[in-house]
Amino acid sequence: MRSLRLARNHSSSEHERLVYEGWILYDTGHREEALAKAEESIAIQRSFEAYFLKAYALSDSTLDPESSMHVIHILEEALRCPSDGLRKGQALNNLGSVYVDCDKLDLAADCYMNALNIKHTRAHQGLARVYHLKNQRKLAYDEMTKLIEKARNNASAYEKRSEYCDRDMAKSDLTTATQLDPLRTYPYRYRAAVLMDDHKEKEAIIELSKPIAFKPDLQLLHLRAAFYESMNDYASTIRDCAAALCLDSSHADTIELYNISKEHVNEP
């Protein structure tokens, strides 16, 4: 935020200043005002930065088909404006994501490949997603491997690649992800689920308790409660459900699990 304010204060033009003001507004939760700043900037001078801000702010919501086409048009306008490779790569990556959401997979693949041609490494992940949606799992795995080769210490890349391979390879990738970033919760959830499938209930509880110790979020607590319920440990189920409901008192699945466990405890 401080760097955005400094950039705004040292802007060389009015349209540039408006873009920085738009990002400041967006980052502080004022989406509509940010869009207005982008429009003001575009009215003064068409620029990549203003169109990108507008598209980014519009994408920050669930898009219907009409809205998606509008965002696509704005990103295409951005790409017609002068900019550096880094920013154009980001715009192509974002455009690919919108095309995926619209189920236009071939157009999405073109965007990601064009982004990769200008060294936008993150596009490997988007292209892998396209291959996965086309049921080309091996190509998806290979694409994530290319990303890992370029960014070996990227825990999220190992985590994502684990979705495109068999169980043993997935476990290996998720072990690496945990070594690189022990605070990522998905690897623990996956390992716990595998242990439950293998009827190793106690080990599954131990594995799932690790992330709960540093991040007691709703999904983790609900999952452990479900594990306890499957083991007929209703007191522990009720405890975890109660903790989860402190985070979201309206979570329907947790309420149902809590009530079922209460009934078991109260049985004569």
For the stretch 223-233, pLDDT in tens is 999 999 999 99
Q: pLDDT exceeding 90 applies to what percent of the chain? A: 82
Q: Does residue 62 or residue 146 have the better pLDDT?
A: 146
With a CB cutoff of 8 Å and minimum separation 6, the contacts of 77 are: 46, 51
Q: Which of 81-85, 126-130, 187-191 has the lowest mean pLDDT?
A: 81-85
Count of domains observed in the chain: 4
Which residues form the domain of 179?
Answer: 165-215
Predicted pLDDT of residue 52: 94
In a shared domain, residues 11 and 76: yes
Distances (CA, A) of 163 to 144, 159, 203: 10, 7, 22
In a shared domain, residues 138 and 99: yes
Angle at 111 between CA 107 and CA 116, to 5 degrees: 145
With a CB cutoff of 8 Å and minimum separation 6, the contacts of 171 are: 162, 190, 191, 194
Is 141 within a domain? yes
Lookup: tokens for 119? 């060294």
Phi and psi angles of residue 101, each rounded to the nearest 5 degrees, phi first: -60, -25
Predicted pLDDT of residue 204: 98
pTM: predicted TM-score of the whole model, two decimal places: 0.86
Q: Give 1's pLDDT tier (boundaries 50, 70, 90).
A: low
- Segment 163-175 shows an average pLDDT of 96
CATH number, domain of 121, equals: 1.25.40.10
In a shared domain, residues 3 and 75: yes
Q: Give 268's pLDDT tier (boundaries 50, 70, 90).
A: low
